[in-house]
Amino acid sequence: MFVLEAKLRGSVKPFAVIDEMIRTAAFVRNRCIRHWMDHQGVGQYDLSALCAVLAKEYEWAKKLNSQARQASAEKAWQSIQRFYENCQSPSVKKKGYPKFKKARSVEYKTTGWKLSEDRQSLTFTDGFKAGTFRMRGAFDLNYYQPEQIKRVRVVRRADGYYVQFCLKHDRLEAVEPTEQVIALDVGLTHFYTDNRGNKIENPRHLRKAEKSLKRLQRQVSRKQKGSNKRKKAITKLGRKHLKVSRQRKDFAVKLARCVVKSNDLVVFEELQVRNLVKNHRLAKSISDAAWRQFFEWLEYYGQVFGKIVISVPPQSTSQECSAGHQIVKKSLSQRTHICSCGLVLDRDENAGRNLLAKGLELVSRGGHSRINAQGHLNPCQVSESLLDKFGG
């Protein structure tokens, strides 16, 4: 699936109707969760059947398109299924029991909406009759057929309302092989250090915006609860948080694209970030780095460019010597690796070399079965020249 996003433009009254649509979708999802909690043996089809019952029971719920109600029930089932999967996995400590969610988005399938002929306007045709909205940033829709649009999602954010089109399209870009490999050791001092010793500085978007965020938070606290001034202050605070979030995403997307496009094999750490943030002293810095988001974009661009992107366990990569393979115990404050074999280099560079060795070993023995996006190169059959050149 491929997602295109555009911002909706309209007046206050139609957006108030969209708010009702979003609240109704959240109501259906939360009622499905409650139904699952109150009754044993509830399955996905039971939740789908509940949507019709809610439409008969509540007149305002019937206004929402039937497929949009089904999409809300599917979201509820996804959270329930995730909970079941976590219960079966002993490595996951927090099982993620399904919770009630606040209203943030509404999702349509193939009905309940209509595009204009120029594909620059979107009309909602269900019982809410929200009307027609112009879209800013929807020019790329002209490159795709209407039949490719499988989902239409309306999302409310601090700076307005956005529509996301989920398209059935496999994004592929042909690039020339580079015969290069890279292994990334992420950190807080530097965002990552590769096996060659190259470092990328940590942008620290949240730390840089912390002063402004605290000032805006104080402004919210000073306003009377329920007043219009407080609502405006909350909106300003939300926009600042949204800007930080977009800065993180922009950094992760551009860096991941550059890394994957420049290398035929990318190895990164298989980190459990949810466990790392339990360290309260470092939790804010770890969250600000957003390693998980960066790793997800690495995997995405690996499919787009047909490159091999794999994760390997990081255990002992910082302690083991990349030359003599002896274990050299180091504390977090020790940033230089000094081994009895004579190897002296940066701690993170040493870890990067160990990660690369693990990645090459995994590929060479066929431990990675993913076929790339072009469908004609098996990662287990990576060129022998790469293995000979970098595998030692």
Is residue 142 domain-shared with residue 189, that is, in the same domain? no
What would the pLDDT profile of 224-265 be if each residue is shown by its tens digit? 999 999 999 999 999 999 999 999 999 999 999 999 999 999
Is residue 189 domain-shared with residue 336, that is, in the same domain? yes
Strand partners, 192: 186, 200
CB atoms within 10 A of CB 364: 15
CB atoms within 10 A of CB 368: 18
pTM exceeds 0.75: yes
Percent share of the chain, pLDDT over 90: 65
Q: Which of 108, 142, 167 is the last residue of a domain?
A: 167
Letter for the amino acid at 98? P
Among 51-60, 95-104, 372-381, the range with the most confident prediction by mean pLDDT is: 51-60
Q: Give strand ranges (E) for the chain.
A: 2-9, 105-108, 113-115, 121-124, 131-136, 149-157, 160-167, 181-186, 190-194, 199-201, 265-269, 308-312, 336-338, 344-346
What would the pLDDT profile of 289-326 be if each residue is shown by its tens digit? 999 999 999 999 999 999 999 999 888 888 888 887 78
Q: How far apart are CA 60 and CA 348, in angstroms?
A: 58
What would the pLDDT profile of 137-179 be if each residue is shown by its tens digit? 988 899 999 899 999 999 999 999 999 999 998 888 888 988 8
Q: Whole domain around residue 276: which residue ranges?
A: 181-203+254-390
Residue 64 gets which letter from DSSP?
S
Task: Give the phi and the psi of residue 16 in degrees, each rounded to 5.
Answer: -65, -35
What would the pLDDT profile of 164-173 be if each residue is shown by its tens digit? 999 998 888 8
Among 14-28, 328-342, 355-369, the range with the most confident prediction by mean pLDDT is: 14-28
Q: How far apart are CA 355 and CA 363, in angstroms?
A: 12
Is residue 122 domain-shared with residue 9, that is, in the same domain? yes
Is residue 154 domain-shared with residue 10, that is, in the same domain? yes
Whether the per-residue pLDDT at 24 is higher than 60: the answer is yes
Letter for the amino acid at 371? I
Q: Quick one: which of 281, 300, 322 has its CA closest to 185?
A: 322
Is residue 114 domain-shared with residue 190, that is, in the same domain? no
Is residue 272 domain-shared with residue 386, that is, in the same domain? yes
